[in-house]
Structure 1
């Protein structure tokens, strides 16, 4: 064994020992990474992460194309599958903790090539989800402010959110906390307003309830409506996960 190899091994053992003996609980002894997110950051990021454009924009399109019955049925089916999936991933993460998440489980139980393929697919999914979210928010703002082109809104939001990526984990977590809190409060107020509006709580507006839902499957047959809505619902749950 060469002296250089021995020296490298000694340095790695010394670094590992220093991490294990570190009294700072915020430093992970396995990876050496320092935890900068607090519990309130993680909690609000989880709550805010499940609320996206699919909660307003996509659900309206699916409701128009597939009808309310297909929407409720598909959300129930995909919700049960997503719950079982996340519970299983949580159990594996507790039993086999790792910094690289589910790709570690793929390498352990299937194959490294399968783990690489899954990771690339996950990257592609999030690129498309991010593009969809930017497109939704920019289209909505351009409807109310057509003076600014869509790419202008995109550059503003992209610069704003990218800036927080370079300010450290703690600053990013704080920004996400307040943005998610604002999002949760706005959606609670929005759903409360919708309930009051449907029940006739707005002056000079009659209560209409679910009278507009005269076609439970839209303009299609039941099977076609379920299949049509299933794709959009699955995408919405993928964004949440």
Structure 2
């Protein structure tokens, strides 16, 4: 096995280079040709084995540097969910509901990302978690959840284009927003055609801007709360009048929807594992950043906007787009005239960043599923620059729905499109925790121990069990408010919020029927492949290196140990 992996890496790395002969145009044309890799006949392999080998050997280019991975981890998911979606959560639930939903979702996310970090460092393969679903649970589960995850990014792309166009209208409403959609469409697709290095570089700078802006807003928000600005001292008066909760338990459950939307994309850093230069070094650091991101960017922000904006604010209830952002409302109420324009610019940056991530996340998910044999093979076409061209082309075509910005039915269309993948977010997060539990159980069942794990999740199995439980409870809460939003059952509201549930059932049954695999619902622990896809193929040498690292860690002073745990 090690010889095959070595030969594959040599061939892949060689194929990404270009001959010095020929001009720029010929080299560019040559770059779109398929990656030259060593291929084997997989027609006789079963779906599980085919998926394991396909994702382990997919020829993606490892061009993401450590700084790219770290910044994607810190600021990758900061977008419209935080800047605008938090306003919806505040209006339907009140400040306490926003805080509770962010704390619960944040805990589940932290447990999930720690578990995913352990798996992705061990197996830095194409598709990351959607490949793990097939490998550790069942290919049908991988097909269902992988397709739902890709669908969520697919729908997000045109919606982010529309959001960006509407954000620009804050400054100028005389220009047709379709023009901005066209410009941003070309920009985002162009970035992704520069390959994973282009995506990483763009995300580095865009995320840096978002991080600085959110930290700046939190500091400014604290100052306004303490009396800076035209309102004088505010303190916690809005927690008392109009109150901390709006709608009680249902208000909290309503806020879960916003929390899921806000945290969406936090797992993107694991998806990039196969294209990371040194996942063993980069990914553990990146996953540890998630705690600080949740605490600083979500928990602190929830507290600040809860102090600055009452849930009865008319702009919060009746505004649309940027005008409904609690960030902008808070600064406007404070009488600070320049900052709202700055915040609007930051929101525009965040929207472009999420559009960029949408193309990346969807294209890599589709390519991974093709490598697993779960989608037609042409979705897995990888060119010599490591770009999944067909998958990028597919999401680009879907992105043309962004031109619905000129349609009066635009909001209705996207309401139903987002209904396709709403509850699926909680199911995907919870299943990642289940995969981690099965990974550990498979090690035990096959007589192997945790001393070969490169990065051990600090939350351990307890984190995965509790994280899965929290995801399940949040899903139940969302189903409850979808069925009974105002006391009596509302079928239309249920399908708008939970259409993904019957869709996933149809996908699961359809795939099981098509593959004729009703005789197996879950892979036996003894049959799970625990080696294919590792970059460290010598287990004994790996154990020795990890033991040396443990001894070095024990000799460090307490303050260095603490820093290593937190950072």
TM-score norm. by structure 2 comes to 0.36
The 1:192/1:134 distance shift into structure 2, 3 A limit, reads farther
Question: Using the alignment, how far apart are the partners of 2:217 and 2:238 within structure 1?
Answer: 19
Superposed displacement of residue 68, structure 1: 0.6
- Look up the match of 2:191: 164
Q: Where does the alignment leave 5 or more consecutive residues of structure 2 unmatched? A: 17-55, 268-567
- Look up the match of 1:228: 254
What do the CA deviations read for 1:27-80 (whole angstroms, capped 9, x no partner)?
9x9544431121111111222212111111111121112101111111111111
Superposed displacement of residue 123, structure 1: 1.0
Are the aligned partners of 2:76 and 2:203 in contact in 1 as well (CA < 8 Å)? Answer: no
Superposed displacement of residue 96, structure 1: 4.0
TM-score norm. by structure 1 comes to 0.80
Are the aligned partners of 1:66 and 1:225 in contact in 2 as well (CA < 8 Å)? Answer: yes
Q: Does the alignment pair 1:217 with 2:217?
A: no
Superposed displacement of residue 14, structure 1: 9.0
| Aligned counterpart in structure 1 of residue 263 of structure 2, from 222, 237, 240 | 237
Superposed displacement of residue 16, structure 1: 5.2
- Look up the match of 2:106: 79
- Look up the match of 1:107: 134
Question: Using the alignment, how far apart are the partners of 2:126 and 2:212 within structure 1?
Answer: 32
- Look up the match of 1:127: 154
- Look up the match of 1:7: none
Q: How many residues are paired up?
A: 222
SS at match of 1:58: helix
Are the aligned partners of 2:78 and 2:262 in contact in 1 as well (CA < 8 Å)? Answer: no
| Aligned counterpart in structure 2 of residue 194 of structure 1, from 214, 218, 221 | 221
The 1:75/1:164 distance shift into structure 2, 3 A limit, reads same
Are the aligned partners of 2:61 and 2:196 in contact in 1 as well (CA < 8 Å)? Answer: no
Question: Using the alignment, how far apart are the partners of 1:210 and 1:149 within structure 2?
Answer: 42
- Look up the match of 2:164: 137
Superposed displacement of residue 169, structure 1: 2.5
Question: Using the alignment, how far apart are the partners of 2:5 and 2:92 within structure 1?
Answer: 57
- Look up the match of 1:116: 143
What do the CA deviations read for 1:194-240 (whole angstroms, capped 9, x no partner)?
222222223x441223323322112x2x1111121112212222243
Question: Using the alignment, how far apart are the partners of 2:122 and 2:195 within structure 1?
Answer: 30
SS at match of 1:217: coil
Question: Using the alignment, how far apart are the partners of 2:265 and 2:7 within structure 1?
Answer: 39
Are the aligned partners of 2:75 and 2:207 in contact in 1 as well (CA < 8 Å)? Answer: yes
- Look up the match of 1:148: 175
- RCO greater where, 1 or 2, for CA within 8 Å and sep 6 or more? 1
